[in-house]
Homo-oligomer: A and B are copies of this chain.
Amino acid sequence: MAAAQLTTDHLTEKHRSTLDQALEAIRTRAYWSPHPEHPKAYGENGSLSAADGLAAHKATLQSRFELDQPGTDGWTGGEVSPYGPELGVEYPHADVDVLLPAMRAGLAAWRDAGPELRALVCLEILARISARTHEFAHAVMHTSGQAFMMAFQAGGPHAQDRGLEAVAYAYAEQVRTPLAADWSKPQGKRDPLELRKTFTAVGRGVALLIGCNTFPTWNGYPGLFASLATGNAVLVKPHPRAALPLALTVRIARDVLAEAGFDPNLVALAAERPGEGIAKTLAVRPEIRIIDYTGSTSFGDWLEDNARQAQVYTEKAGVNTVVIDSTDDYKGMLSNLAFSLSLYSGQMCTTPQNLLIPRDGITTEAGPKSYDEVVADLAAAVDGLLGDDARANALLGALVNPDVKARLEAAAGLGEVALASREIANPDFPDAVVRTPVLVKLDGAKPDSEAAYMSECFGPVAFAVAVDSTDDALELLRRTVREKGAMTVGAYTTSTEVERAVEEVCLEESAQLSLNLTGGVYVNQTAAFSDFHGSGGNPAANAALCDGAFVANRFRVVEVRRQA
C-alpha cells in the first residue's frame, strides 16, 4: 500500500473539531449542522459552484462510471430520470465471489486504525461529498424525481448531516470502553491480583447497504457511515433506478480511503443487471454481517427472516396519521398540512396519509368547522399552494415511478374525491410526470374503508377519515401504529387533555409525534443531531436514525488480558 497522502495529523486538524461539535449536538440535540443548506453557499474553498456541479453531473452521463474494483465482470446501467432523459451511465458489475474476499483484505488495517482515525476518514469522505453537493443534487434529482431544491437539500446537506450523525454515534459508542486498563484487585494481606487489559473495537465484517429509490443518500448514509466508522467494509447495492448518487459516494470513499493509506476496497459498489435481484443473493452470503435496508415491508421482512447471519436494520412501510381535534390557528394548520401532503408528491416515508377528523367537526379560533368544511378548506389550501405551476413543480418534483402513478389513480376510486389530482406541465422536462395530491374522503366507521386507510398508499394520496370522536381517532391511531407502523404522527389540539392522550398513545406505541405544527416545520421533516427518524419500536422500522442501538451492534469489543 502506498504511503498515506492524507496523514492523521492533517485529518485531525481538519475534522476533529467538527467531530467534537457533532458529539456535542447529539448530546444537547440543539440545532446544528456544518453543511450549508443554501446553494449559493457553495463554489468557494474547493466546493463546486452551481455551474460546475451541473457540468460535473453532465460529464458523468452517457459514459462508464469507472471504479477500478476487483472482480468487475461487465457493465450495467439503464437509469432513466423521472424527468425523462436516460442517464446512460454504466456501472461495473461485480463477480461477488471475487469482490467480497477482496473487501475483507483491508479489514485488519481498518480495525487497527482505531475509532478516532476511522471517524476522521469518514469525515473527510463527507467533506468531499459536501464539496460536490451541487453535483449530487442533480444526481439525486434525476434518480429520485425530487425537485432540484429538495434534491439539493435532502440529498446534500441533510443526508451529509445524517451520515455525520452516524459517525458521531459510532465514535462515541466505541470510545465508551478505553483502549486499555490496569486492573488491580486487593487480596487483603496478599499481593493484589493485577492484570493489564486491552480492548479493541472490531467490526463484524462486510456490511451491505441496500439503497432506495427516493432518498438514495439520505436513507443510505446513516448505515453506510455507521458501518464504516465501526470498522466494517461496506458493499453498496444501490436501487437500480437510483445508482448514480451512491456510485459517486462510493468513488469518493474509495479515493479517500486510498489516500489515507487504507484499502479502497473497504467500500465498493454492487450494481445489478436488470432483473438480477442481487440483494437476495448478497443478503445471505456468509461474508455479509450487517444489512441496512430501506424499502418495502415484504422485502424488509424477508431480510429479517432470512439474513440470519447478519444484523439487519430495516425501514419499511408505515401508515402515518394526523389527528385533528382542534386548533387555534386554522389557516396555519391547513397551510402546514397542505405543504406536508404536497412535498415531493407525498413520496416520503414520513408523509401523512390518514387525517382523522371527527365527523361532528372541530373547534377552531374561527369558530366550529364541520368535517366537510375542514376537508374542503384543506383541499383549497392544497390548491392554493400548488396553483402556480412553477411553484407546484418546485414543490412536487416528479413521480418516481409508474407504480406511484397507478396507486394515485386507483386511490380516486376508494371514496369520495375531495380534491382530484392534477397533472402539472414541467416546461423544462416535458416527459416528467408531475401530479398534485388526491384527497379522498373515507368513513372510518365503514368496514370497507378500512382496507384503504389501513394500508400504506405510498405517493400523493391522503385520506380524510371521518371518525366518531377524538377518542375514536386515538383508538384508530393506536391500532394503526401497532398493526401497520408509523414513521410520523401529527396532532392538532388546543386541549391539554387530548394532547396528553395523544402523547400517551405515541409513548405506548413508540411513535414520533409532532404537535400543532402551523409554521415552517413539517411533520415529514426531521433534522439530524436533534430529531429521531422513526423510533425502531413499531412495525415501520426496526431502527431509529440515529441512536446508540443503531451503532452498538455493528462492532464487538475484544478484550485481551495479561498478568501485569
A residues sitting closer than 8 Å to B (CB atoms) are 26-31, 108, 111, 172-173, 176-178, 181-187, 193, 195, 197, 199-200, 202, 204, 304-305, 308, 503-504, 506-508, 510-521, 527, 530-532, 535-537, 544, 547-549, 552-553, 556-563
**Smallest beta-carbon distance A190→chain B, Å:** 8
> What are 9 A-B contacts with C-beta separation under 8 Å?
A108-B504, A108-B508, A511-B558, A519-B563, A532-B557, A535-B557, A535-B558, A536-B556, A549-B552
User: Which residues of B have CB within 8 Å of A511?
Assistant: 558
- Checking B31, B308, B513, B547 against A561 with a beta-carbon cut-off of 8 angstroms, the contacting residue is B513
Contact A521 B195 (CB under 8 A): yes
User: Which residues of B have CB within 8 Å of A199?
Assistant: 29
- Checking B183, B304, B557 against A31 with a beta-carbon cut-off of 8 angstroms, the contacting residue is B183
**Smallest beta-carbon distance A529→chain B, Å:** 9
The complex places the Cα of A393 from the Cα of B547 at a distance, in Å, of: 49
A511 and chain B: residue at smallest CB distance: B558
A542 and chain B: residue at smallest CB distance: B553
Number of copies: 2
A510 and chain B: residue at smallest CB distance: B556
User: Known contacts A181-B30, A507-B558, A560-B513; is A553 also within 8 Å of B530 by CB?
Assistant: no
User: Which residues of B have CB within 8 Å of A181?
Assistant: 28-30, 530
The complex places the Cα of A305 from the Cα of B521 at a distance, in Å, of: 42
User: Which residues of B have CB within 8 Å of A182?
Assistant: 30
Contact A552 B548 (CB under 8 A): yes
User: Known contacts A547-B552, A548-B552, A549-B553; is A559 also within 8 Å of B517 by CB?
Assistant: no
User: Which residues of B have CB within 8 Å of A548?
Assistant: 173, 176, 548, 552
The complex places the Cα of A508 from the Cα of B109 at a distance, in Å, of: 12
- Checking B29, B173, B178, B187 against A183 with a beta-carbon cut-off of 8 angstroms, the contacting residue is B29
- Checking B108, B186, B507, B547 against A111 with a beta-carbon cut-off of 8 angstroms, the contacting residue is B507
User: Known contacts A183-B30, A504-B108; is A512 also within 8 Å of B552 by CB?
Assistant: no
Going nearest first, the 8 A-B pairs with the smallest beta carbon separation are A537-B556, A549-B552, A29-B181, A548-B552, A549-B553, A515-B562, A31-B185, A513-B560
Contact B507 A31 (CB under 8 A): no
User: Which residues of B have CB within 8 Å of A552?
Assistant: 547-549, 552
Contact A506 B560 (CB under 8 A): yes
A289 and chain B: residue at smallest CB distance: B537
Contact B517 A563 (CB under 8 A): yes
The complex places the Cα of A339 from the Cα of B518 at a distance, in Å, of: 70
A533 and chain B: residue at smallest CB distance: B559
- Checking B31, B516, B553, B561 against A562 with a beta-carbon cut-off of 8 angstroms, the contacting residue is B516
A515 and chain B: residue at smallest CB distance: B562
- Checking B183, B204, B530, B559 against A513 with a beta-carbon cut-off of 8 angstroms, the contacting residue is B559
User: Which residues of B have CB within 8 Å of A507?
Assistant: 108, 111, 200, 202, 558
Contact A530 B197 (CB under 8 A): yes
Contact B185 A527 (CB under 8 A): yes
**Smallest beta-carbon distance A475→chain B, Å:** 17
Contact B553 A557 (CB under 8 A): no
Contact B512 A558 (CB under 8 A): yes
A532 and chain B: residue at smallest CB distance: B559
Contact B558 A193 (CB under 8 A): no
The complex places the Cα of A510 from the Cα of B556 at a distance, in Å, of: 7
Contact B556 A177 (CB under 8 A): no
User: Which residues of B have CB within 8 Å of A193?
Assistant: 519-521
Contact B197 A531 (CB under 8 A): yes
Contact B558 A506 (CB under 8 A): yes
**Smallest beta-carbon distance A304→chain B, Å:** 7
Contact B562 A557 (CB under 8 A): no
User: Which residues of B have CB within 8 Å of A31?
Assistant: 183-186
**Smallest beta-carbon distance A541→chain B, Å:** 10
The complex places the Cα of A308 from the Cα of B303 at a distance, in Å, of: 13
The complex places the Cα of A10 from the Cα of B558 at a distance, in Å, of: 39
**Smallest beta-carbon distance A226→chain B, Å:** 13
**Smallest beta-carbon distance A359→chain B, Å:** 27
Contact A561 B515 (CB under 8 A): yes
User: Which residues of B have CB within 8 Å of A515?
Assistant: 560-563
User: Which residues of B have CB within 8 Å of A187?
Assistant: 520
A550 and chain B: residue at smallest CB distance: B552
**Smallest beta-carbon distance A492→chain B, Å:** 11
Contact A28 B544 (CB under 8 A): no
User: Which residues of B have CB within 8 Å of A304?
Assistant: 308
User: Which residues of B have CB within 8 Å of A553?
Assistant: 536, 549, 553
The complex places the Cα of A175 from the Cα of B107 at a distance, in Å, of: 33
- Checking B29, B204, B508, B537 against A197 with a beta-carbon cut-off of 8 angstroms, the contacting residue is B29
A491 and chain B: residue at smallest CB distance: B560
User: Which residues of B have CB within 8 Å of A29?
Assistant: 177-178, 181, 183, 197, 199
The complex places the Cα of A559 from the Cα of B490 at a distance, in Å, of: 12
The complex places the Cα of A81 from the Cα of B561 at a distance, in Å, of: 36
**Smallest beta-carbon distance A157→chain B, Å:** 12
The complex places the Cα of A556 from the Cα of B29 at a distance, in Å, of: 16
